[in-house]
């Protein structure tokens, strides 16, 4: 019976559907983990997570089985065993599971019991729950293998403890949300460890996958609730943990030797890091050479340019200023200043010739009508078309820059400033934008590739926001102050409150009712918006799925 185990926790990125690349990455880790007894990889590491309807393709299931067998064969001649997450077929049903690969074969497999079916998760659409799992015998230790959601409920861990499990190894695909890391450790993992008296290693993936991003931040907690190991967030990491069998009462228990405790990103660095990593992986995995975006001199485009530089490097970011008759000298100066501070290419393409051309072209049809929102939106659509033309001609992906406050109430032009392939700010309210701008002007994220110092002129942060589509326009002409708007939207969107409930929080009825009306009317725009990173619990699209045609109102 072994009294010592070296268990390697491999916090890795994944490529959904790229089975060969994911398998190769695991074998590369194994080649270096020469002293390890067991390497633990994140949930669905072979397939990539979340696979969505890709998992319904029989060819994917067949190839996953072939790749898993190849991985198992790699263990035939000794060396570390591997704990690999994949999809499994049993009695004609699909299961989300994990396999212990040892001695050249699949030595054991366990299936996920608790299938999440909320927010970003649709696991009941694809999988059947497995039976309550038994521990797996491994070199003298009894391993309990709960999978992600299994530890968020008590039954699986209690059952494993009753069956003699001595160590919990929990593989995860746990997406980032604001404040979620505290919930994972204090609200879930510590509780399971302390309730059962069994230490728990939590291994999470890292990286972006379309609209979700995974922060890593894997850890080990002891049976008493102490954190023994804390791995970094927002980057791949491989850590060897040493476990020893120690006396306990009349018997023994396994204990992990204390290891490195990495400092995790605090607010708002965590939000900013989520945007950077999500954009980086989206652009790189989809093989874009870089990005292009409109740099208006406003705060949203400035922070998107900074995010892009931190994600990709200045040489892969192309900014374009597109002035019209209403563009202020301040905006021209601020855009130029921002580009210089970031070290990016900045081109200026004036849109007035196109504005004049459309005005002449539409004059007969618009005869007798005063200029209004149609003429304002034409400017935005000309800018969107210009940027898409550059994207088509030269290949960079167009980054769109609208924030959640604007998207909530429709303060964005469909086929105009909503054009793009990805939006880092899609789930960030305007007040969040201000917060990350102030933070980034004084700090660089650990994973950032941009400059150490400030990334935009201070005036961009302090001046009143404006779309500059008509003379002396300000956002406050059409919307409440952003601190008021965001508080109302937080009630209506994040908390699903009625108008009356939000009014009870201290807001004027007329204002709240108007915002609710705008929120519902803008659903059709949001359905046509590009993807963007999920930050909170109710992002538009994956979490909040409202009908476009909807007659229900609460105010």
Contact predicate 144/160, CB 8 Å: yes
With CA atoms as reference, report the closest residue to 433 among 236, 198, 195, 271: 271
| Residue from 112, 190, 404, 525 carrying the catalytic annotation | 112
Structure tokens at 430: 């305007």
With CA atoms as reference, report the closest residue to 143 among 207, 103, 99: 99
Phi, psi of 85 (to 5 degrees): -85, 135
Q: Provide Rg for the chain, Cα atoms.
A: 26
Structure tokens at 226: 């102490």
CA–CA dist 504, 492 (Å, integer): 13
Structure tokens at 507: 């807001």
| Residue from 67, 102, 114, 148 carrying the catalytic annotation | 148
Q: Which residues contact 214 (CB under 8 A, 6 or more apart)?
A: 173, 174, 175, 176, 204, 205, 206, 207, 208
Is 148 exposed, middle or buried (CB count within 10 Å of its CB: 0-12, 13-18, 19+)? buried
Q: Is 112 a catalytic residue?
A: yes
With CA atoms as reference, report the closest residue to 159 among 211, 114, 100, 119: 114
CA–CA dist 306, 440 (Å, integer): 8
CA–CA dist 465, 482 (Å, integer): 10
Q: Is 148 a catalytic residue?
A: yes
| Residue from 43, 102, 211, 516 carrying the catalytic annotation | 43
With CA atoms as reference, report the closest residue to 159 among 100, 113, 227: 113
Name the packing angle between helices 299-312 and 430-440 (round to 10°).
Answer: 50
| Positions marked catalytic | 43, 112, 148
């Amino acid at each position: 019976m072994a009294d010592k185990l070296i268990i390697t926790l491999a916090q890795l990125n994944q490529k959904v559907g790229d089975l060969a690349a994911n398998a190769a990455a695991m074998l590369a880790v194994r080649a270096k983990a020469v002293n390890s007894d067991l390497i633990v990889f994140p949930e669905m590491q072979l397939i990539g997570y979340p696979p969505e309807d890709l998992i319904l393709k029989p060819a994917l299931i067949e190839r996953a089985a072939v790749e898993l067998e190849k991985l198992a064969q790699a263990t035939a001649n000794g060396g570390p065993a591997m704990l690999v997450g994949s999809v499994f077929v049993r009695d004609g049903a699909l299961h989300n599971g994990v396999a212990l690969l040892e001695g050249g074969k699949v030595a054991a497999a366990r299936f996920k019991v608790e299938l999440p079916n909320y927010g970003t998760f649709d696991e009941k659409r694809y999988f059947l729950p497995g039976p309550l799992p038994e521990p797996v015998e491994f070199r003298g230790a009894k391993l309990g293998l709960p999978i992600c959601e299994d530890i968020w409920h008590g039954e699986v861990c209690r059952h494993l403890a009753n069956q003699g499990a001595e160590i919990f190894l929990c593989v995860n695909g746990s997406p980032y949300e604001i404040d979620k890391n505290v919930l994972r450790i204090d609200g879930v993992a510590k509780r399971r460890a302390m309730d059962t008296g069994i230490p728990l290693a939590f291994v999470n993936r890292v990286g972006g996958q379309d609209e979700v991003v995974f922060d890593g931040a894997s850890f080990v907690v002891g049976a008493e609730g102490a954190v023994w190991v804390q791995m970094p967030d927002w980057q791949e990491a491989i850590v060897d943990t040493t476990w020893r069998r120690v006396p306990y009462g009349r018997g023994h228990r396994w204990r992990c030797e204390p290891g490195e405790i990495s400092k995790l990103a605090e607010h708002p660095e965590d939000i900013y890091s989520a945007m950077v990593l999500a954009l980086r992986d989206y652009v790189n995995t989809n093989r874009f050479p870089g990005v292009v975006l409109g740099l208006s001199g406003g705060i949203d485009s400035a922070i998107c340019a900074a995010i892009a530089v931190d994600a990709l490097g200045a040489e892969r970011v192309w900014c374009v200023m597109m002035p019209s008759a209403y563009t202020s000298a301040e905006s021209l100066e601020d855009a130029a200043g921002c580009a210089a501070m970031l070290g990016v290419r900045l081109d200026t393409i004036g849109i007035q010739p196109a504005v004049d051309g459309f005005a002449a072209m539409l004059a007969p049809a618009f005869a007798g009508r005063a200029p209004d929102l149609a003429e304002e939106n034409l400017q935005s659509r000309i800018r969107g078309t210009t940027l898409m033309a550059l994207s088509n001609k030269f290949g960079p992906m167009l980054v769109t820059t609208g924030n959640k406050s604007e998207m909530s109430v429709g303060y964005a032009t469909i086929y105009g400033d909503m054009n793009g392939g990805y939006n880092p700010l899609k789930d960030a309210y305007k007040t969040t934008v201000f917060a990350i701008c102030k933070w980034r002007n004084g700090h660089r994220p650990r994973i950032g590739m941009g400059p150490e110092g400030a990334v935009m002129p201070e005036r961009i942060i302090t001046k009143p926001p404006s779309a500059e589509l008509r003379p002396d326009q300000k956002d406050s002409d059409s919307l409440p102050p952003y601190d008021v708007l965001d508080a109302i939207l937080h009630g209506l969107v994040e908390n699903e409150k009625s108008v009356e409930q939000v009014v009870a929080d201290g807001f004027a009825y007329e204002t709240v009712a108007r915002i609710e009306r705008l929120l519902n009317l803008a659903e059709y725009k949001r359905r046509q918006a590009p993807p963007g990173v999920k930050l909170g619990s109710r992002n538009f699209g994956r979490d909040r799925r409202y009908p476009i045609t909807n007659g229900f109102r609460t105010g």
